[in-house]
Structure formats: structure tokens, C-alpha cells
Structure 1
Amino acid sequence: MSINCKVKSIQQLACNTYQILLHPEAPVEFKAGQYLMVEMGEKDKRPFSIASSPCRHQGELELHIGAFEHNTYAIEVVEKMQQALANNSDIVIDAPHGEAWIREESEHPLLLIAGGTGFSYVRSILDHCISQNKHNPIYLYWGAKNQNQLYAIEELKNISAQHSNVHFIPVIEDMNSEWAGKVGNVLQAISEDFESLSDFDIYIAGRFEMAGAARELFTQNKQANSDRMYADAFAFI
């Protein structure tokens, strides 16, 4: 369904990463883990995960867009948002979309895996689980190139400190002298930390190749149940 939105605010979260708040003209019902499409043209719709959770979004839709150099696909969307904010004009979205939403009825432990701005997807799921007082163990692994790209690290540390069932594990590829956490590939870090993933519901957001690698690695080597692995990328790979 196409919906007109006002751009309420644009905030830089990290280098080339932006938080955008949209205010739709009519309420948008969605499930934690779904995404929307920004309409750039009649046949040009670009998907972005909804970072807000359905129970606490207060009528606003939050996006985290990584508009990195040479990524014109995302840069053009941010520029369109900036222009709409400056001119008080509308952005048109198509929402909701996606099948990788949280299975709320499940009592299995959750493994949330994010690469880069794929964090927006797992943030919606995490916040929804907390707001619904779910007590399932939740392990959130967030992989990024460097520490600066982990723009919500303090927020997640606070959440894990306040909720004993939430465990946050950041992983970066490029270590500096101040970093005391895990270094390397986020999927490899998970493999090292778990003997088996057979009990887990697994939610994945990141590049298509990462989602495909996770499915192959975890089903073949960690007894993960492919029927309880969720990623919108699976519809395309």
C-alpha cells in the first residue's frame, strides 16, 4: 500500500549512516522485522528495514540508511529525503513487506545477526521483544568494519545490562588499540561461541552473501534448523 509521509528529521548516526524519521499520513501496521519500500519512481522502489518496533513507534517510522561512497542506490534515497525535509514535501512509501518478522509465539532462544546497517532490522525485533516482556534468551551479534560503525553500541550495552536475558556481542573487522571485543568475521565469531544452534530461532540481516553463508555454515556445521532461520534475503538467493 502506498502511503505519503513527511520527513520529520534526519540525523547522522555515523560516517555516511543516517537515521531518518518518517511521519506517515495514516498509521502503518507492521510486524517487527518487516521493511518498507521508498518509491523513487513508478517502477523504482527501494527496500529499507523499519528500525522502529510496531508497539512503540508512536506513528513514526524509523530508518537507518548506510549511504556509503559509491552506493548511489542509498545515496539517492538520502538526498531525496533531505530535499523533502527542506521543502516540506512528501515521500511516498510502500509498506509493509517481508516475511522475516519475529515469530512471537516461539519460546526458543533467539540469535539476532546484523551486518552493518542490517542492525536496523534486529533493533526492531529486539525492542519489540523487550516491550512484550519476552524472556527468551536473546543473543545479538553485530558485525561491522570498525568500531565507529557500531553507532548504537552504548544503547545495546545498556539494554543488556538492564535485561539479563539479552546478550550483546559486537564484532569488528579492523581492530584498534582501544577495542577489547571480538575481531574478525561475525559468522565465525558465532561459530566459535556455540557448539550447536539447534535450539535457536535465527534472524539475519546484512548483505545477501552473508545471509547465504550463514544458512550454509550453521545448517551444515551447527545443527541449525533451516525452517527456523529467517532473512528476507532468502527469497532472492
Structure 2
Amino acid sequence: MTIKCKVKSIKPLACNTYQILLHPESPVSFIAGQYLMVVMGESDKRPFSIASSPCRHEGELELHIGAAEHNAYAIEVVELMTKAHESGESINIDAPHGNAYIQEQSERPLLLIAGGTGFSYVRSILDHCVSINKSSPIYLYWGAKSSDQLYAKDEIEQIANDNGNVHFIPVVEETENGWAGKVGNVLQAINTDFESLAEYDIYIAGRFEMAGAAREQFTQNKEAKSDHMYADAYAFI
């Protein structure tokens, strides 16, 4: 379904990472964990996870877009959004999409895994689970190259402090002065921390290689059930 949106705001979250708020001309019904497509042209639609949750988005749609210098695919979208914001023109989106959304009726514990701006996907799921008072244990692992890319670290730590069932484990690849958390690869951290993932619903957002590696490692080594692993990447790999 194609919907016109006004670009309400654009602001930096971290180096080359932007928060974009869209105001659709008509309400968009979606499930936490789904994504939208930014329409660049008739045959050019680009997917981005919806970072807001359906229960608390107040009619706005939030995106987190990582647009590093080598990533023209994302840079062009940010440029389109910036131009529309400055001119007051509308952009078009196609939404909702994706089958890797929250399994709301499940009572299994949740493992949410994000690489980089894949965080936007798990943020929507986490926020929705908190808003409906989901009592299952929730573990959120967020991997980034450095701590300054963990742009919502304070927000998630506060959610974990306020909700005893939520556990936040940030993982950085580069050792830094003053960093007291985990260092290394986010999947390695999970492999170390869990004896078994047999009872978990697992939600993953990151590069396709990361999602593929997670499925292989967790099903082979940690008893994870592939039909309880959710990622948009699995529709393509």
C-alpha cells in the first residue's frame, strides 16, 4: 500500500546514522518488527525497519538509517528525505512489509539480536513488549564497531532498569578506554553466554551474513529451533 508522508524531522544519532520521523497522510497499521519501503522510483523501493512500535508511535513512523560514505543506497534515501523536509514536499512509502514480526502470543523467552542500525528492528519489538507488559525474559544483544555507535544505549539501559525481565548486553568490536562491557563479535558473545537456545524465540537484524551465521551456529551448537528464529533476511537466504 503506497502512502504519502511528510518528513517531520531528521537528526543525527551517531556518525553517519540518522533518525527520520515520517508523518503519513493516513494511519499505517503494522506489527512490531515489520518494515516499510521508501519509494525512490517506479521500480526502486528500499526497505528500512520501522523503529517505532505500533502501540506508541502516535501516527508517526520512525526510521534509523545508517548512511556511511560507501553506502550510496542509504545516502540517496537520506538525501531524498532531507530535500523533502526542507521543501515541505511529500515522499512515498510502501508499507507494511515483513514476516519477522513479534509473535505476541508466544510465552517463550526472547533473544533480540541487532548489528548496527539493525537495532531499529529490535527496538520496535522491545518497546511493544514493554508496553503490553510482556513478562517473558527478554535479552537484547546489540553489536557495534565502537561504543559511539550504540546511540540508544542510555535509553535501553533505562528500560532494563525499569523492567526486571529485560536484560541489555551491548557488544563492541573495538576495545576502548573506559569500556566495561563485552568486546568482540555479538554472535560469539551469545554463544558464550547461553548453554542452550532451545526455548527461545530469536529475532535478528543485521547483515545477511550475520543472520545466516546466527541460524547455522545456533541451530547446530545451541539447540535453537529454526522455526523460532525470525529475520527478514531469511526470506532471501
TM-score category, normalised to shorter length:
over 0.9
Aligned positions of 1:126-137 closer than 5 A: 126-137=126-137
Q: Where do 1:10-49 residues align within 5 Å?
A: 10-49=10-49
Instruction: Map 1:194-205; keep pairs closer than 5 Å.
Output: 194-205=194-205
CA distance in 2, matches of 1:176, 1:55: 37
> Secondary structure at the residue paired with 1:52?
coil
Cα deviations by residue, 1:109-167 (Å, 9 ceiling, x for unpaired): 00000000000000000000000000000000000000000000000111100100000
TM-fit CA distance, 1:178: 1.2
The aligned residue for residue 188 of structure 1 is: 188
For the residue of structure 2 that corresponds to 1:217, the secondary structure is helix
Structure 2 residue aligned with 1:161: 161
Residue of structure 2 equivalent to 1:104:
104
Secondary structure, counterpart of 2:28 in structure 1: coil
Tell me which residue corresponds to 1:8. 8
Secondary structure at the counterpart of residue 46 of structure 2: strand
Give the paired residue count.
237
Q: Which amino acid aligns with 2:85?
A: L
Paired AA for residue 142 in structure 1 = W
CA–CA distance in structure 2, aligned partners of residues 139 and 28 of structure 1? 28
Q: Please show how residues 198-217 of structure 1 align to structure 2 within 5 Å.
A: 198-217=198-217
What's the CA shift for 1:69? 1.3
The RMSD of aligned alpha carbons is: 0.3
Give the Å deviation of 1:175: 1.2
d(CA) in 2 for partners of 1:14, 1:117: 10
Structure 1 residue 108: Cα displacement: 0.2
Q: In the alignment, what sits opposite 2:76? A: 76
Letter matched to residue 44 of structure 1: D
CA distance in 2, matches of 1:194, 1:21: 36
Matched AA of 2:198: S
Task: Name the CA distance, whole Å, in 1 between partners of 2:208 and 2:91.
Answer: 27
Describe the superposition over 1:3-29 as per-residue Cα deviations: whole angstroms up to 9, x where unpaired: 000000001000000000000000000
Q: Which residue of 2 aligns with 1:141?
A: 141
Q: Which residue of 1 aligns with 2:63?
A: 63
Deviant stretches of 4+, over 6 Å: none
TM-score in terms of structure 2 length: 1.00
Name the CA distance, whole Å, in 1 between partners of 2:92 and 2:104.
Answer: 30
Stretches of structure 2 lacking an aligned partner (at least 5 in a row) = none
The answer to whether 1:230 aligns with 2:230 is yes
TM-score (norm 1): 1.00
Shift of 1:107: 0.2
Deviations 1:48-75 (A, max 9, x none): 0000000000000000000011100000
Amino acid in the other structure paired with 2:13: L
- AA partner of residue 176 (structure 1): E
- Looking at structure 1, the residues matched to 53 and 106 of structure 2 have their Cα atoms a distance apart, in angstroms, of 18
CA distance in 2, matches of 1:184, 1:151: 18
Question: Equivalents in 1 of 2:42, 2:54: separation in Å?
Answer: 28
